[in-house]
Amino acid sequence: MTYHFPGWLHLSARLQSATPTDAPQSGDQASPVVEGAVDTAALAASILVGVGTGFVLAAIASMLVGRVLRASTLLGTIAQRIRAPLYVTLMVWGAWAGLQFAMLSQDATSWLNGPVPAVAAHLVLVLAITALTWVGWSAAWVFEDAARARSAADKGRARRFETQAQVMRRLLQLVAVLVGVVSILYTFEATRAAMATVLASAGVISVVAGLAAQQTLGNVFAGIQLAFTDAIRVGDVVVADKDRDSGAVEEITLSYVVVRMGDDRRLMVPSRHFTLNTFENWTRRSAKQLGTVELHLDWAAPMDLIRAKVEQILSSTDLWDGRTWAVQMSAADVDSITVRIQVSAENSGKLWDLRCHLREALVDWIVREEPWIRSSGAAREEEEETGAHEDALSPAVTCSPTTGRGRGEGQQGRRQKRLDRGSDEAEASTQVLSATSIARAVGGGKGERLYSGSAEAEERSHIWEGPGEDVLAEREEMTRRRDTRGRDDEDRGVEAAATKAR
């Protein structure tokens, strides 16, 4: 069997048929077995010499590169990444060169020109191409390493570069793998013939392949679009789940986006989702947010007292950023009113803790000090249990046939009685609190916060901070510039129209 290698790889594997050796005529001539053993040893020695030469060259290159790139952290990181692939590549190519040298020797016997060494040479060639592909794969990390190095010095502004670097790294690695696979296949003669046929009908095949891989290619182009249009960056807090759960963008690939949810789940979202559908980006311009807490209370609930209590609670916690707060009556029905409390926080994580803290503090305050302001349904049940509803049978509720003053006085009397009863209950509820109760009252209990109050909670809260203040400022500046250019273009258009009208 004769193996032929492509000329563009400089493979001299075309084997010359050896002249048949005559049978030994005397004892002075060496037997073919001895000659084959000697040639085999020479072949192995050539391969080992090639491997050793490659190792020495790799060691020298690694030492020189290490000294030259010692001053640069980034270049040193790149050298570390390609060191192992470089050693393997030079050693494999050294083995291939030694094998070729042995096979092309003028004194080679027919065994060396036979199929076994040829198959070995082909195998070593495939390993050499694979090693080169490994070098390209490792070298593609240069973009992401540069992004990380920049992120260490400028965490905010490097987020966009890091997002783009992830996409570029994966794209280059994909190209390196494709080139390596095609190169390996091209070393087979049958594959080369098939490739020629494929190239002849490339137009039809490209159309069919495009239709078959439409979804995959669409995701790839969507990933590139996301990386270079700044729609989202690594660190942005987005809402892309059908259940409207929020999460932070953790990774952007060529085909999907990894979103880390608040409960540490990872949501894999196809890249096309962000280019074809509307989604929320909570940190596009700022990580600050507003949130609401709603309470259903009685019609007699004093809004001024509730506002004073809300202000007191907000002033005593570090979760509120001090920007704004409001207490409003947003709805009213037959039995109750809806009190809507709106507060602000630095990010969505702190906002969640603030809303929970505010709701808990208000409910505790109402139960302990102002139980009478609960919704009418709850108050009515309590009145029926305590007999406090007997005032409804008093003559004061009898309506006057002419003025209707009786009904108004009855309502006012019931409200005043409820106020007095609430004050009496508050005074009668004085008790000695335990250390646990005091800690809970001042906000020092364990398990009260999900995104602050402990090292783990603080680490968890970082995912809601967004890509960084520098990135948000950069986006704000870019938006301002676009608005300025838009106004300038509009003004120039108006001036041109006015000039033309004259």
Question: Please, what are the domains in the chain?
Answer: 7-13+34-218 (no CATH), 289-433 (3.30.70.100)
- What's the chain's average pLDDT? 72
Residue 249 in tokens: 């963008």
Say if residue 29's pLDDT is above 70: no
Say if residue 344's pLDDT is above 90: yes
pTM over 0.85: no
Whether the CB-CB separation of 91 and 70 falls below 8 Å is answered with: no
Whether the CB-CB separation of 396 and 410 falls below 8 Å is answered with: yes
DSSP 8-state secondary structure symbol assigned to residue 260? E
pLDDT value of position 106: 46
**Average pLDDT of the residues in 343-367:** 92
Say if residue 281's pLDDT is above 70: yes
What would the pLDDT profile of 434-482 be if each residue is shown by its tens digit? 444 444 555 455 666 777 767 777 777 777 777 666 667 777 777 777 7
Higher pLDDT residue, 77 or 393?
A: 77
DSSP 8-state secondary structure symbol assigned to residue 72? -
**Average pLDDT of the residues in 158-167:** 70
Task: Give the ranges where 154-188 is alpha helix by DSSP (H).
Answer: 158-186
Highest mean pLDDT: which range of 9-13, 219-223, 362-366: 362-366
Q: How far apart are CA 133 and CA 359, in angstroms?
A: 59
Higher pLDDT residue, 131 or 391?
A: 131
pLDDT value of position 32: 61
Question: Quick count: other Cβ atoms within 10 Å of Cβ 302?
Answer: 13
Long-range CB contacts for residues 20-23, cutoff 8 Å, separation at least 24? 20/110, 21/109, 21/110
Bridge-based pairing state of the strands 280-281 and 266-270: unpaired
Please report which confidence band the pLDDT of residue 8 belongs to, taking 50, 70 and 90 as the band edges: very low
Chain position carrying tokens 């707060």: 325
CA distances from 14 to 1, 106, 152, 189, 369 (A): 11, 14, 55, 13, 99
Burial of 232 from C-beta contacts in 10 A (0-12 / 13-18 / 19+): buried
pLDDT value of position 365: 93
SS3 assignment, position 79: helix
Please report which confidence band the pLDDT of residue 264 belongs to, taking 50, 70 and 90 as the band edges: confident
Higher pLDDT residue, 319 or 214?
A: 319
**Average pLDDT of the residues in 85-90:** 81
Long-range CB contacts for residues 110-118, cutoff 8 Å, separation at least 24? 110/17, 110/18, 110/20, 110/21, 111/36, 111/39, 111/40, 112/39, 112/43, 113/15, 113/16, 113/17, 113/18, 114/15, 115/1, 115/3, 117/43, 118/1, 118/2, 118/3, 118/13, 118/15
Give the rounded distance of the alpha carbon of 84 from its chain centre.
29
Please report which confidence band the pLDDT of residue 359 belongs to, taking 50, 70 and 90 as the band edges: very high
Q: What proportion of the chain, given as a percentage, has pLDDT over 70?
A: 60
Q: Minimum mean pLDDT among 88-102, 139-153, 196-210: which range?
A: 196-210
Q: How far apart are CA 107 and CA 43, in angstroms?
A: 12
Q: How many residues does the chain have?
A: 502
330 φ/ψ angles, rounded to the nearest 5 degrees? -90, -15
Dihedral sign for Cα atoms in the order 476, 481, 484, 490: negative
CA distances from 160 to 103, 307, 335, 347 (A): 54, 43, 53, 20
